[in-house]
Each structure stands twice: as structure tokens, then as C-alpha cells.
């Protein structure tokens, strides 16, 4: 017995080993079989990661699976994916694997499809991406078809967690099926049998931009009779659900040579109005079991006729309800007097003749009645729309009658009496003669709040009149925060904007007594005081769909700390640009004028502006305007008036502030009646410490004009001149937006400021020309505005004074007629020891002694007399020039 059991165990082990090992032996054969079938039948690129065979998964049958299947189209849909599938599995008898001759078809018993996405497309020329079967001349012969490939003897099949998309460009129709789960069980080998199916999915259906189903949940349990001999499939016991609305089906579908014959009727088995609420997705309708309803609701339909490339079945579908009402138990109000009378019909079999009549859609909340009707014709081509709305709606009642969770609280009254008729091509092409709008609409006491705005917007009044071409905004009054708005204007192409991709055109006159910009900004939109904080958010964009002109007139506009008075001008928004025209305002006790544009067409927004300031208060404007501070930071210590014309362009950051490193342009500035608070500026403190003979508080800046150029983060100041008493100062240089300084100021100092020794020397010459000698003193200003550095250079002053004294003395001797010119020149430049040479030596030594101390040269070894003279001279000069009393 032990031996028998041992032998049995060995046999079972061998069988199990064979069941595991055989698939590896047959793997290449299976791959060749699948690839051969594909190449014989499909005109497309097919890829898959693996083909596997198992004798255990579906024992005693073989289990073949294809993993990661991808089918990609050739022309005219080249590169587009038709099918992706995680796994497709086939079950068949083991003997089917040994049909190696190809003379007999391989019979498949079951199919399982997992996580598959099928995308079906038809272009405007009628080409279909799923038409990938090879042409007859390339396809297998009739004999090959009968004796090779696959045949199906299905016992069960399933499609799990899959999706389908169908897009028809010609008819502008799209169907999306998601979360599709479908299974069927039956026997297909006999001529007549039954197929038991269960299906569940979410469906969206759109025709020509009109959405008829929006992710609606569909469920169908159907017992289908199969008459394979006549290709007829009959609905025997069937119940479907649209969301939670039950529908019963009866009838059949029969396959014909030119299409399908369809004869199906359906209706909801119950008539309670609660069935209407069941149509609404549960996410919006919530729990409808406890809802109190009155009245009826009935859906009935007949679909009958031939479905082919030329025709569709006739349709007669009705949706009706009479004098119904509903009330949610936890909400205070009831919707009553509900009347619905809608029909979907086609009596000719031509798709273009399908039409929808919403004859009545009425309801009442409290005493506010709302009535509407509409008809849609030619829905597959150029849809014709005729609609009417007449009623009053208290917006605050929406959440009191229906369990909808609004992000923003709504209040206010909406009134409308509008009739409209149009065709869709008229909307798309702005053919206003075919658009018939008539009526009016108004809203009052409307309050809108949102996380996207700081303060609720209260529209006290808005009235609109509708005409075919325009909507006239006859009045619009609103407040938010401390701001008020009052507007009138016209809106063009509102329907084109709502129903198509057209731009929204408008022309508005907007008035405000007080407009605070921060009332319209969130905290994230407000520029941060911390310049080191960066934001990864995308830049704001001016919408593509806007094409409007706004004439603005505001008494006061408050932006940060800027208080603009009497703001007037025109704002044009078009093609993702905001264009400012003739914008003026009173600011800083002067007048501001702006023109230019801001564009967000590119990834980085840009701006280009012309700015004019007339009579600006200098101190106030340079303290409060960051742009002016960066162009001329030192100007904030000035007092007086400023006129300037400025042209600048550059990039904007995410908060629509100028990126200073990108700004380029130029400016012409004129200072009027200006004085300096020098003690408030570190630069002037440093200059006064080096050049004490100048009182910078007394600089004469009246009528000063200068020009600036800026680019690459640097401001270049063209040379200009200012005066202090009889000292002229020539200034030029540049500074960066990073606060670094590179300036030069040349002080042309009269000799009288250089002390008694130099003045005695000049007095000896006894010449009017000598009395008017000026010495250039160069001050080089570097460092930064916070920590400036000042260096004075007197080298050129020494040379200049020496040369001037020699020249004056030479001319004096020449005028006296003493000696020949050649002798005099020879004496001046170091010839024979003449009287001129003696004079020159005396003058040069004096200048060197006096100015040598100013430029800080090292003392050489000299006699005691010279040292004492030099010390006295330096003391006298420093007293007048660098450290003593101001003259």
C-alpha cells in the first residue's frame, strides 16, 4: 500500500510539473500564433509585452493571455492609439493548442478583458480609425478563413474596469463611457439560446457642444434571447437604470446586410415624481428616499426602424410631469406647480430631422413663478434654437429647496423675460441678422462672496435690454468693501461666448467715487513686503476671450499708499493685452499722465509705458513710488516740484510688478524751486566732511534739467551742472538697481577758498585774471546708498593752479616788454637763470607747499623754515577748504 501511494504521488508530481513546465515549452508557439493572426488580419502597429500560457488557471482548459497590448493606427490617424489593454485572456480546450497545421480554426470558449481603453474616431472626411481590417486583396482567402484563425464558442465573457470613447468630427458627436464593467453568460454554439448580461458604466454624451448626458450612471441587467440563425437578439427580461431611475425594455435588434433593424420600447415602471429626482446624479440629489413628492413623472419611448449608414430608427420619446412638487425633509421650502412636457422625435429616419421640444418647463417657489420653453432642431448639423424664459427667481431660495452645497452664498432677485432664436453657425460667424433676441433681464440685491475675493460683492441694481446684436447694460450699481462702481455699456456676442469659442465684446463707461484696489485682491495677490519671498505660481493672464473698452472715471483710487485723485482714461483689453490710453490723475500735488500697454501673450508678461509727471512733490513721490526710488534714490531728500517724461519697458513678475533687471528706457527730469535736506542723506554728509567749504543745503537746483537712461539693471545719468554761490559742480555717472554707485562730481573752486598763502601769492601778481582762477576738485562717489564712499582728487588742481600762475606772470612780463619772447619762454621752461626763472621757482614752491598738504603727500626732508611755512600754509588752506569756517 505504501508503495502504491508513493507511485501515485510521483505520478501526480510529474503531472503537476508538466502542467507548470509545458506552458514554457509552448510559449514561443503561442506568440507565433498570436502574431500570425494579427499580421494576417490587421493593418495597424500592434505591440504587447508578453504572451503567457497556463494549464492551471482554468484547468482542465488552457488559459492564454496577452499583456500590455497597444494598437496604434497608420495613416490617416498615424501615431494615434486605438486600443490599450492591460490584459486580454482567452480560455480554450488544451487540444486547440495542438492545431499546428492551421487547417482548422482555434475555438475560444471565454474571453476576459481587463483595464482596456478603446478610442474610436471618425474624421470630417468619414475615415474611421477602427477600420483596420486588411483589404480583401491582402486578407486571407476564403478557404484560409474557413480553415484557419479563431472561431468562437463562447460560454462567458467579461469586460472589467474599462473605458470607451467615440468621437465623430463630422456630426460633432462624442460619447464617453467610463468605469465600464460588463459580463455575459450563455451558450453560443446552438442556434437559439439565452445570454444573461450585467452592465454598469458612467456615460457622457454630447452633440454639437450640447451635453445631453454628463457622467450619468447607467446600469442594465438584461436577459437576451439569441437567434443566431437569423442574427436576432430579443430583450426578454430587462431592467435598466439611469442614475436611480428604473427603465424596463422590450423588443429586439436584428442584424441585416445593410445595418440593424431595431424595435424597442421602454418606460419607467413607476409614476411617482420621485423618479425625476432619481435622474439627477446622487452626488447632487443626495438621499431621495425621504423626499416628500406629489404628482407624477413618466418616461416612455419607442425606437423603431433601420439603423444604417444612411438612416436612424424613428424616435418617439416623451418625458412628462403634471402639477408635481417636492420637499426635502431638512430644508424649509417646497418647489411646487412643476410641469414638464418634453418630446424627442424623429419621424423620417434621417438624423438631421431629429428634434427636441421642451414645450413646458415651469415651477414655483413661494410666490415666484418661473416659466420656460425651448425647441432644438437639426441637432446633428446647424442646430436651430428657439427658447423663451419668463419668471422671477429669489436666488437665496436655491439652497432652501434643494440640497446643493454652494461654495459661495447667493442672495438677490433675478427677473427675466427673454425670447431668443438663432442657429449655431450664426453664433459662430456673428451673423447677427439670424440672431433674434428680445426682452429684458434684471438683478437686484445680489450678493456674491467667494474665497477668491476679499469682500462680498453687492450688486444693488443691474438692468439689461436684449437686441439681436447687443445687450445693453442700462444700469449697474455695485459695492465691495469700501469701493463703489456705477457702469453702463453694451455687450456684444454674449451667446457666441457662451455657446461657442468666440470673444466677448463690450464697451463700458465705469464711474466710481472711491475705488480701493485691495478690495478686489486676495492676500496672495497683494505684493509681499518681504522681497526674498518667491512664488512658484504661474503669472496672471489676461483672458483671450475678452475684447472690451472701458472708459474709467474715478474721484479717488487707493492703491497701497498711493492716493490718486480724479482718475480718467480709457482701458482697452484685447488679444491678451491691456492698453492704457490718455490715462490721467492728480497725484503728489501734481498731474500724472500714462499711456502704454501690458501684454500676457507670452509666457513672461511684458509692459511698455510712457509716463509724464507735471508738478510732482519730489519728496513725497520719491518716498512712495518704488520705481522712482530706484531711478533716483537720492532725490527723496529734495524738496520742491518735479516735471518728468519717462519711457520704460520690460518684464513683469507674477504679481505684475516690474522686474527691475529687465527694465530699459529713458527719462528727462526738470526740478523746480528745489532745495535739499542734506543732513538726511548719507552721501551729502560724506561730501560735506570732505569739502567743508560747501553748504549743500544752499545748492541752487532751480530749473535743473537732466536726462537718464536705464538698461540691464543700471541707470546712467548724463552730465549736468549745478551751482553753489560761485562754485560750479559738474556731475555725471551711474548707479544700479542694486544700490551700487559710480559717480563723479567736479567742483570748480575759486582760488579765494584756498587760504591766505595762495591769496597772498595771487595778490603779488596783481592781475585781475589771477583773481578769477578756479581749481577743479574731483569727488569720486562709490559704495552704496546706505554706505557711500567719497574720495577727493586734487592732483589736477595743483597742476592747473601752477600752470595758470606761470601763464599769467609770463603774459605780464611780455606786456611790459622786458626781454624777448624766446628768453621768457626759455626762462619759464627751465632755461637760463633769469628773473623769470626766479619768479617761477618761487611760485611753484608756494603752490606745492600749499596744495601738497591738501592732496596728502608725504613730507620730504626739508629745512626747518620750509617745514614751518608748509605747516602754516596747510593750516590756512585746510581752514578755508576742508575743515574751517565756511565762507
Cα 298 from Cα 321, distance rounded (Å): 7
Cell of 69: 497590448
Phi, psi of 8 (to 5 degrees): -60, -45
Strands of 328-469 (E only): list them.
Answer: 335-346, 355-365, 368-377, 384-394, 410-423, 436-448, 457-466
The β-bridge partners of 217 are 202
| Strand 504-512, strand 546-559: pairing | parallel
If you average pLDDT over residues 856-873, what whole number do you get? 37
Cα 15 from Cα 20, distance rounded (Å): 9
The 3-state secondary structure of 29-76 reads: HHHHHHHHHHHHHECCEEECCEEEEECCCCCCCEEEEEEEEEEECCCC
Let me know: does 317 contact 343? Beta carbons within 8 Å. Answer: yes
| Strand 515-516, strand 546-559: pairing | parallel
- Could you tell me the sign of the dihedral formed by the alpha carbons of 618, 621, 623, 629, in that order? negative
The pLDDT of residue 271: 84
The pLDDT of residue 527: 44
The pLDDT of residue 887: 34
pLDDT at 694 over 80: no
- Could you tell me the sign of the dihedral formed by the alpha carbons of 872, 874, 877, 880, in that order? negative
pLDDT band at 210 (very low <50, low <70, confident <90, very high): low
**Least confident window among 448-452, 601-605, 759-763, 859-863:** 859-863
Q: Give 413's contacts (C-beta < 8 A, 6+ positions apart).
A: 392, 393, 394, 395, 443, 444, 445, 446
Cα 252 from Cα 227, distance rounded (Å): 11
Residue with cell 507565433: 32
If you average pLDDT over residues 751-776, what whole number do you get? 68
Residues in the chain: 887
Q: Angle, nearest 10°, between helix axes 795-816 and 835-852?
A: 160
Q: How many helices (H) and strands (E) does the chain have?
A: 16, 39
Question: Residue ranges of the alpha helices (H) in 261-381?
Answer: 274-279, 282-285
To the nearest whole percent, how much of the chain has pLDDT over 70? 74
The pLDDT of residue 106: 63
Q: Give 307's contacts (C-beta < 8 A, 6+ positions apart).
A: 259, 260, 261, 262, 313
SS3 876: helix
Residue 119: in which H helix or E strand, if any?
A: strand 106-122
Strands of 575-703 (E only): list them.
Answer: 577-587, 590-599, 606-617, 638-651, 664-676
pLDDT at 388 over 90: yes
The pLDDT of residue 194: 85
If you average pLDDT over residues 584-604, what whole number do you get? 90
pLDDT at 643 over 70: yes
Cell of 191: 442556434
Cell of 695: 553748504
Cα 95 from Cα 109, distance rounded (Å): 13
Amino acid at each position: 500500500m505504501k508503495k502504491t501511494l508513493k507511485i501515485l504521488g510521483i505520478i501526480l508530481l510529474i503531472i503537476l510539473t508538466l502542467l507548470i513546465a509545458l506552458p514554457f515549452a509552448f510559449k514561443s508557439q503561442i506568440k507565433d500564433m498570436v502574431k500570425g493572426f494579427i499580421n494576417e488580419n490587421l493593418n495597424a502597429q500592434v505591440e504587447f509585452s508578453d504572451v503567457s500560457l497556463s494549464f492551471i488557471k482554468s484547468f482542465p482548459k488552457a488559459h492564454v493571455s496577452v499583456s500590455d497590448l497597444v494598437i496604434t493606427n497608420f495613416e490617416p490617424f498615424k501615431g494615434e492609439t486605438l486600443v490599450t489593454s492591460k490584459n486580454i485572456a482567452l480560455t480554450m480546450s488544451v487540444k486547440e493548442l495542438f492545431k499546428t497545421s492551421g487547417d482548422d480554426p482555434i475555438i475560444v470558449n471565454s474571453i476576459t478583458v481587463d483595464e482596456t481603453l478603446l478610442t474610436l474616431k471618425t474624421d470630417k472626411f468619414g475615415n474611421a480609425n477602427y477600420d483596420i481590417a486588411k483589404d480583401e486583396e491582402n486578407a486571407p482567402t476564403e478557404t484560409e478563413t474557413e480553415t484557419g484563425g479563431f472561431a468562437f464558442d463562447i460560454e462567458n465573457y467579461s469586460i472589467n474596469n474599462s473605458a470607451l470613447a467615440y468621437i465623430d468630427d463630422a456630426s460633432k458627436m462624442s460619447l464617453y463611457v467610463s468605469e465600464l464593467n460588463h459580463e455575459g453568460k450563455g451558450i453560443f454554439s446552438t442556434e437559439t439560446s439565452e445570454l444573461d448580461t450585467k452592465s454598469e458604466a458612467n456615460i457622457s454624451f454630447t452633440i454639437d457642444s450640447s451635453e445631453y448626458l454628463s457622467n450619468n450612471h447607467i446600469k442594465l441587467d438584461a436577459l437576451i434571447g439569441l437567434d443566431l440563425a437569423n442574427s436576432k437578439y430579443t430583450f426578454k427580461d430587462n431592467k435598466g437604470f439611469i442614475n436611480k431611475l428604473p427603465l424596463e425594455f422590450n423588443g429586439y435588434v436584428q442584424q441585416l446586410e445593410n445595418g440593424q433593424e431595431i424595435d424597442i420600447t421602454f418606460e419607467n415602471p413607476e409614476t411617482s415624481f420621485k423618479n425625476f429626482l432619481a435622474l439627477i446624479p446622487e452626488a447632487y440629489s443626495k438621499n431621495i428616499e425621504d423626499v416628500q413628492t406629489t404628482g407624477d413623472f413618466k418616461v416612455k419611448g419607442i425606437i423603431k426602424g433601420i439603423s444604417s449608414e444612411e438612416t436612424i430608427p424613428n424616435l418617439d420619446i416623451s418625458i412628462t410631469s403634471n402639477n408635481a412638487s417636492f420637499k426635502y425633509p431638512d430644508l424649509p421650502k417646497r418647489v411646487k406647480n412643476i410641469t414638464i412636457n418634453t418630446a424627442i422625435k424623429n419621424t423620417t429616419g434621417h438624423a438631421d430631422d431629429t428634434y427636441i421640444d421642451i414645450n413646458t418647463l415651469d415651477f414655483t417657489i413661494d410666490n415666484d413663478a418661473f416659466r420656460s420653453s425651448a425647441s432644438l432642431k437639426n441637432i446633428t448639423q446647424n442646430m436651430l434654437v428657439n427658447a423663451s424664459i419668463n419668471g422671477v427667481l429669489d436666488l437665496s431660495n436655491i439652497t432652501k429647496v434643494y440640497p446643493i452645497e454652494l461654495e459661495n452664498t447667493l442672495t438677490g432677485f433675478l427677473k427675466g423675460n427673454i425670447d431668443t432664436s438663432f442657429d449655431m453657425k450664426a453664433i459662430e460667424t456673428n451673423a447677427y441678422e439670424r440672431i433674434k433676441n428680445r426682452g429684458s433681464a434684471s438683478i437686484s440685491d445680489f450678493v456674491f462672496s467667494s474665497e477668491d475675493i476679499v469682500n462680498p460683492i453687492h450688486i444693488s441694481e443691474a438692468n439689461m435690454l436684449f437686441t439681436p446684436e447687443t445687450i445693453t447694460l442700462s444700469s449697474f450699481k455695485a459695492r465691495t468693501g469700501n469701493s463703489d462702481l456705477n457702469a453702463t455699456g453694451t455687450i456684444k456676442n454674449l451667446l457666441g461666448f457662451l455657446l461657442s469659442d468666440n470673444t466677448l465684446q463690450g464697451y463700458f463707461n465705469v464711474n466710481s467715487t472711491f475705488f480701493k484696489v485691495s478690495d478686489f485682491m486676495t492676500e496672495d495677490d497683494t505684493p509681499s513686503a518681504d522681497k526674498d519671498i518667491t512664488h512658484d505660481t504661474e503669472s496672471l493672464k489676461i483672458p483671450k476671450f475678452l475684447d472690451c473698452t472701458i472708459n474709467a472715471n474715478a474721484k479717488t483710487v487707493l492703491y497701497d499708499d498711493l492716493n490718486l485723485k480724479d482718475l480718467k482714461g480709457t482701458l482697452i483689453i484685447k488679444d491678451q493685452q491691456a492698453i492704457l490710453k490718455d490715462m490721467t490723475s492728480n497725484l503728489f500735488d501734481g498731474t500724472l499722465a500714462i499711456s502704454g500697454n501690458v501684454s500676457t501673450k507670452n509666457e513672461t508678461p511684458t509692459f511698455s509705458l510712457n509716463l509724464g509727471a507735471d508738478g510732482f512733490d519730489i519728496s513725497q513721490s520719491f518716498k512712495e513710488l518704488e520705481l522712482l526710488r530706484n531711478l533716483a534714490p537720492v532725490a527723496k531728500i529734495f524738496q520742491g516740484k518735479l516735471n518728468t517724461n519717462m519711457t520704460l519697458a520690460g518684464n513683469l513678475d507674477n504679481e505684475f510688478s516690474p522686474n527691475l533687471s529687465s527694465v530699459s528706457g529713458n527719462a528727462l527730469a526738470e526740478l523746480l524751486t528745489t532745495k535739499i535736506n542734506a543732513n538726511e542723506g548719507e552721501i551729502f554728509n560724506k561730501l560735506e566732511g570732505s569739502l567743508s567749504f560747501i553748504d549743500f543745503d544752499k545748492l541752487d537746483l532751480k530749473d535743473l534739467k537732466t536726462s537718464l537712461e536705464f538698461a540691464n539693471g543700471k541707470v546712467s545719468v548724463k552730465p549736468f551742472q549745478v551751482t553753489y554761490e560761485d562754485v560750479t559742480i559738474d556731475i555725471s555717472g551711474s548707479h544700479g538697481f542694486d544700490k551700487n554707485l559710480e559717480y563723479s562730481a567736479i567742483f570748480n573752486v575759486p582760488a579765494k577758498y584756498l587760504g591766505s598763502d595762495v591769496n597772498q601769492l595771487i595778490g603779488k601778481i596783481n592781475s585781475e585774471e589771477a583773481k578769477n582762477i578756479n581749481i577743479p576738485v574731483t569727488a569720486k562717489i562709490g559704495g552704496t546708498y546706505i554706505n557711500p564712499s567719497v574720495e577727493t582728487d586734487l592732483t589736477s588742481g595743483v597742476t592747473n593752479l601752477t600752470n595758470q600762475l606761470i601763464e599769467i606772470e609770463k603774459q605780464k612780463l611780455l606786456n611790459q616788454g622786458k626781454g624777448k619772447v624766446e628768453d621768457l619762454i626759455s626762462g619759464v621752461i627751465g632755461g637760463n637763470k633769469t628773473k623769470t626763472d626766479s619768479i617761477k621757482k618761487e611760485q611753484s614752491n608756494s603752490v606745492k607747499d600749499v596744495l601738497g598738504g591738501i592732496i596728502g603727500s608725504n613730507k620730504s626732508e626739508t629745512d626747518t623754515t620750509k617745514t614751518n611755512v608748509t605747516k602754516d600754509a596747510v593750516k590756512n588752506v585746510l581752514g578755508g577748504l576742508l575743515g574751517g569756517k565756511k565762507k
